[in-house]
Amino acid sequence: MSARWTDETLHEGVRMGFEVRRTLHAADTGQQRLELVENPVFGTMMLLDGAVQVTSADEFAYHEMMAHVPLAAHGGVRRVLIIGGGDCGLAEEVLKHRDLERVVQVEIDPDVVAFARDHFPELNAAAFADPRFEIKIGDGAKFVAETQDHFDLILVDSTDPAGPGAVLFTETFYRDCAGRLAPNGIIVTQSGVPFLQGDAFVAGLGALHRATGDASCYLTVVPTYFGGHMALGWAGPGAAAARHTAETVLAERMAGIATRYWSPAMHHAAFALPPFIAEALAAA
């Protein structure tokens, strides 16, 4: 019997195939199509509307860089807001910082949270057991428009700019995020793969720049988000200064937290941009 494969067709003109050894779950959640499958290379994989969101094998390259770059660079974060991030792997990474007082996550789709909790315990069990973690179900854009709370760090761990995630790439949303930041606060956004999503990268970073007055990005490489580097938007009143935190200080702030991708040297290197990305950013 031939193997079953699933193709990700997120990007026009290219597709990436994954062998499906087992389907753990496949259903429409009312918000999006949710699939959980097992692949021999990437382990458990979660797809939303056919796009890979998280895999047990390579999540560290995304979650560590989204969490530890701003937390180590800022140094004084107490309150964190995560928008999206349904698998809760980012929350778990964030909560490794013992000085944090509160992590609030706003995710639109309760099924993503429930299935990730059942099928990715290695990614999120510690987050669910942590009293500092609070998860709210709702639209992240609506939440930031209405809340009166302030946060030292806002992490936008969104899907791509389509469907329910589209609003999380708009200037209005970023403006509302900026309004909820404490002095010296930082915003980090999932800003896609510039090589394959050049227009979306420019549009999203442009909106972030107009909303905050100064936006740039840093890079990670996540094998399942194919096409090369993934960009993480970097903005907010504390972003420019935190960008230059010395490696020795970063290492001290991360003492006791084991990582497989983040290191003080990778942290600094992540802000070096190849010219094709720097030029796209300048045009944003």
Which residues are part of the catalytic machinery? 157
Is residue 140 part of the contact set for ligand SAM (CB under 6 A)? yes
Query: Could you tell me the smallest distance in angstroms from the CB atom of residue 72 to ligand SAM?
Result: 20
Query: Could you tell me the smallest distance in angstroms from the CB atom of residue 110 to ligand SAM?
Result: 9
Binders of ligand SAM among 85-114, rule CB under 6 A? Answer: 85-87, 106-109, 112
Is residue 197 part of the contact set for ligand SAM (CB under 6 A)? no
Distances (CA, A) of 171 to 141, 168, 175, 203, 265: 11, 9, 6, 10, 32
Is residue 157 part of the contact set for ligand SAM (CB under 6 A)? yes
Distances (CA, A) of 239 to 2, 185, 215: 51, 7, 8
Q: Toward ligand SAM, which CB reaches closer, 45 or 141?
A: 141
Amino acid at 201: F
Q: Which of 57, 139, 171, 175 binds ligand SAM (CB under 6 A)?
A: 139
Rounded CA-CA distance 193/183 in Å is 30
| Count of residues engaged in binding ligand SAM, rule: CB under 6 A | 25
Query: Could you tell me the smallest distance in angstroms from the CB atom of residue 189 to ligand SAM?
Result: 10
Q: What is the residue whose two structure tokens read 């509307």?
A: 49
Q: Which residues bind ligand SAM (CB under 6 A)?
A: 48, 53-54, 62, 83-87, 106-109, 112, 139-141, 157-159, 164-165, 167-168, 190
